[in-house]
Amino acid sequence: MNNISRRKLFTAGLAATAGLGGLAVAARLARRYGLIPPDNGGVYGPGETLNYAAQRLLTSHSQAREFSRGMISKAPFANAVAPPDDRFKRLQAGGFSGWLLSLSDLKSLPIRSQITEVVCEEGWSYIAEWIGTPLADVLNQVGVLPQARYVAYYSADRNWWDSIDMSDALHPQTLLTWAMNDGDLPVGFGGPLRLRVPRQLGYKSVKYITGLTVTDSLKNLGNGLGSPGPEFGYSWYAGI
């Protein structure tokens, strides 16, 4: 059974054992532990809360599966995205030397690599080696207040952005990657900098990262739902 169907089964099982009254109990528990995702409103809201809270309470220390080098996909599929904006292209022409935190600054931080799978919600996936700096090390370097609860991250592509909670932000497999397999991270795969969040579906691994915001609340960012996704039916929390 793959991870996605296992997750569905897990959530369904939890809801079934919980029963309808149990759902209310689960929601109360989720509130008590502060495990309410930003997309908790609307028709799917209770399901989103149940799934997020259950995963955080039961599997918060789990790791994404790592693979052997022989299992790296021969022809990984770069999903077609809108081309990066003009500001990105200007920075690209200058080798990204105009960044506040330059690529060489980033490369002086601890380097980790992992062979993990990019899993698209549309049903395809590929395995690659990802090399970069744990987001946790970048956050330690800049310093984070104790109130920090989420990290939002922004892309040069259509002002795309997303966010994760501190549990995923500090997770050892969450990497700001600048290399893939045998070389620099190609622009097609999100270079020069991509956030890999291997415990969630591919759409949380945003390409062409331009900035990070550490915050105690997602309410005042963009649509207040943690990412554009929930407006289009994509869960904010997309754990696999």
Indicate the helix (H) or strand (E) that contains 29. Answer: helix 3-32
- Is 187 an interacting residue with respect to ligand MTE (CB under 6 A)? no
3-state class (DSSP) for residue 53: helix
Phi, psi of 182 (to 5 degrees): -100, 5
Minimal CB distance residue for Mo ion: 120
Q: Could you tell me which stretch among 77-85, 108-116, 166-174, 218-226 binds ligand MTE (CB under 6 A)?
A: 77-85
Phi, psi of 17 (to 5 degrees): -65, -35
Query: 56-74 burial by CB neighbour count: b if 16+ within 10 A, else e?
Result: beeeeeeebeeeeeeebee
Residue 81 binds which of ligand MTE, Mo ion, none (CB < 5-8 A, kind-dependent): ligand MTE
Q: Could you tell me which stretch among 12-20, 91-99, 124-132, 202-210 binds Mo ion (CB under 5 A)?
A: 202-210
Of 37, 202, 230, 239, the one binding Mo ion by CB under 5 A: 202
- Is 114 an interacting residue with respect to ligand MTE (CB under 6 A)? no
Q: How many CB atoms lie within 10 A of CB 213?
A: 13
Shortest CB 187 distance to ligand MTE, Å: 11
Residue 118 binds which of ligand MTE, Mo ion, none (CB < 5-8 A, kind-dependent): ligand MTE
E strands along 88-199, which residues? 112-119, 125-134, 150-155, 161-165, 175-180, 183-184, 194-196
Minimal CB distance residue for ligand MTE: 202
Q: Which residues bind ligand MTE (CB under 6 A)?
A: 77-79, 81, 118, 120, 155, 157, 160, 189, 202-203, 205-208
